[in-house]
Amino acid sequence: MKRTTIIPGGYESSLDLRQTERAIRLIKEYFQTNLAFELNLTRVTAPLFVESGTGINDDLNGIERPVSFVVRDLGGLPVEIVQSLAKWKRLMLADYGFKHGEGLYADMNAIRPDEDLDNLHSLYVDQWDWERIISGEERTVDFLKRIVRKIYDVIRRTEKYVCHEFPGIEPILPDEIAFIHAEELEERYPSLDCKDREREICKELGAVFVIGIGGALKSGKPHDGRSPDYDDWSTAHGNGCRGLNGDILVFYPLLDCVMELSSMGIRVDAEALERQLKIRGMEERKELYFHRRLLEGTLPLCIGGGIGQSRLCMFYLKKAHIGEIQAGLWPAEVLSACRANNIFLL
């Protein structure tokens, strides 16, 4: 579905260019420090590219093409720009010797050439990718919610910090994040598609974590796409619902839209991986390096996700377009419309 760019009427940024650049630095420093403290994470250096054909790179919804090239000095070895680090992080938890309750985070920079460009989506993705080791007993919805609340507390704390540093900006986040399963959301708004359901619930509650994204709902359709080999979207957990993953969503009044700040979840164990590969008809992936290690039991159980850096900065600084936060390429008509309406893209 082709997205369109929204031009809010009478828009004026609260910060000029230099103030914006300073604010971005402060937000990134403050947020990652607090996130690492709350989740007991150590910062690690992440790859920009990985070897093709290993199963380490993520295929997100399963249709996005990774940017690829060959390396001359490695005999023409094919490699891919990462799309996210979900699988790589799990390998590193094992190979770096992390223990239960410990984790890592990294600055992930990706290129997604098939992205539909609009106010919230660009070709370039920057996020904090994090992963933490858990026990088998912690593979529950209650534990998932506990971690979501910790992350949301950091999101709110950072909002207060930004408003203190830049008095012209006012906080808008609610004190608590609400939880709803995608099945419940479908039952609540049966005539709406998934994006309109998200908009309605977020407009009502302000901040919501939608649980169970990737598996088919009662309608036969998933709430949204997920690859079969990182998030667990198929494990049953009561009330007929399935899935140990979800998205942190907030309502963004400036654009009258939902902003997804984080996609995260408890990761597949060997049983869930087998089940989800079978559901998607992708059982041949079991022969790939990452999948073999998981099925052989050499990778830890974990929870993890990604938190959008530019998205967060855009939300906190009340910007109309993600291009006001990150430098990028945009269609000529978008550049023209933005310039005419005080939206200055980097």
pLDDT the model gives residue 102: 98
The residue type at 2: K
For residue 87, the tally of other CB atoms under 10 A from its CB is 27
Residue predicted with more confidence, 61 or 279:
279
Where do the domains of the chain lie, and which CATH numbers do they carry?
A: 17-339 (3.30.930.10)
The residue type at 221: K
pLDDT tens, residue by residue, 80-102: 888 878 889 999 999 999 999 99
Residues recognised as catalytic = 58, 112, 127, 247, 260, 263
* Nearest residue to 285 (alpha-carbon basis) of 229, 215, 234: 229
pLDDT tens, residue by residue, 51-87: 887 777 766 555 567 888 898 988 999 888 888 788 8
Distance from C-alpha of 63 to C-alpha of 45, rounded to nearest angstrom: 27
Strand partners, 79: 51, 69
Full DSSP string of 64-85 = PPPPEEEEGGGTSEEEEE-S--
- The tokens for 172 are 């808008």
Cα-to-chain-centroid distance, residue 36: 17
Answer whether residue 212 shows pLDDT above 90.
Answer: yes
Global confidence as pTM: 0.93
pLDDT the model gives residue 51: 85
pLDDT tens, residue by residue, 288-322: 989 999 999 999 999 999 999 999 999 999 999 99
For residue 2, the tally of other CB atoms under 10 A from its CB is 6
pLDDT category of residue 112 using cuts at 50, 70 and 90:
confident
Q: How far is CA 247 from CA 180, 213, 221, 238, in A?
A: 10, 8, 17, 20
pLDDT category of residue 111 using cuts at 50, 70 and 90:
confident
Distance from C-alpha of 148 to C-alpha of 109, rounded to nearest angstrom: 23
Cα-to-chain-centroid distance, residue 202: 17
* Nearest residue to 122 (alpha-carbon basis) of 283, 329, 260, 317: 329
Task: Please work out, in degrees rounded to the nearest 5, the angle formed at the alpha carbon of residue 329 by the alpha carbons of 324 and 334.
Answer: 70
